[in-house]
Amino acid sequence: MPPGDLVIASDRFGKPFLDGVPGIAFNLAHSSEIALLAVHRAPRCATPVGIDIEPTAPPPEAAAIVRGWFGDSDRITYEALPTTARDGAFARLWTRKEAVAKAAGGIAALPLDRFAVGLEEWAAVAGTPWQVRSFTPAPGHVAALATRRKGQ
């Protein structure tokens, strides 16, 4: 299909999709000069994907974000870490939560305090149909990709 014929629309939560192109889902994230694009192709219907990227250096208000936006499980995981390990853990938890929420349709569809992502590299997200994987796309950055679990 010619690029000029592609129409990007938004669902009820504001998540973009390709209108009239069945079987393709995508999500985009960027941080400073790095952009990531996740694309999923399925024969009959698109399976949503979510992707996020952040610098590994946390914002000054990281502890307040954890208290205000994370559920008990992720907050306890974060606060149990030695102070020196919290910087990397914050970015890892935040990107994992954002990727899952974006796959689900956004924070309005799945608020960040309603699910726990933990710090494992690859894990199913309990109580949801999602799985999430962390990776390092470039030095000084962490990213996460969320997809539906098989059979969900």
- Number of domains present in the structure of the chain: 1
Q: Give the pLDDT confidence score for residue 97 in this predicted structure.
A: 96
For the stretch 98-134, what's the b/e string if a residue is b when 16 or more beta carbons lie within 10 angstroms of its beta carbon?
bbbbbbbbbbeebebeebbbbbeeebebeebbbbbeb
Mean pLDDT, to the nearest integer, of 109-123? 91
Domain containing 83 equals: 3-148
83-105 confidence digits (pLDDT tens): 999 988 999 999 999 999 999 98
Predicted TM-score (pTM) of this structure: 0.90
Among 5-9, 67-71, 106-110, whose mean pLDDT is lowest?
Answer: 106-110
Give the CB-side neighbour count of residue 48, counting CA atoms within 13 A. 19
Could you identify the residue written with the tokens 């390092």? 136
DSSP code at position 140: T
Predicted confidence (pLDDT) per residue in 6-55, tens digit: 999 988 888 888 898 888 889 999 998 899 999 988 766 667 899 999 99
pLDDT of residue 94: 96
Give, in degrees to the nearest 5, the angle at Cα 43 between 39 and 45.
Answer: 70
Say if CB 118 and CB 77 are below 8 A apart.
yes
Model confidence at 107, pLDDT cuts 50, 70, 90, reads confident
Mean pLDDT of 62-90: 95
CATH of the domain at 109: 3.90.470.20
Tokens of 60: 């000054």
pLDDT of the residue at 21: 84
Q: Report pLDDT for 47.
A: 78
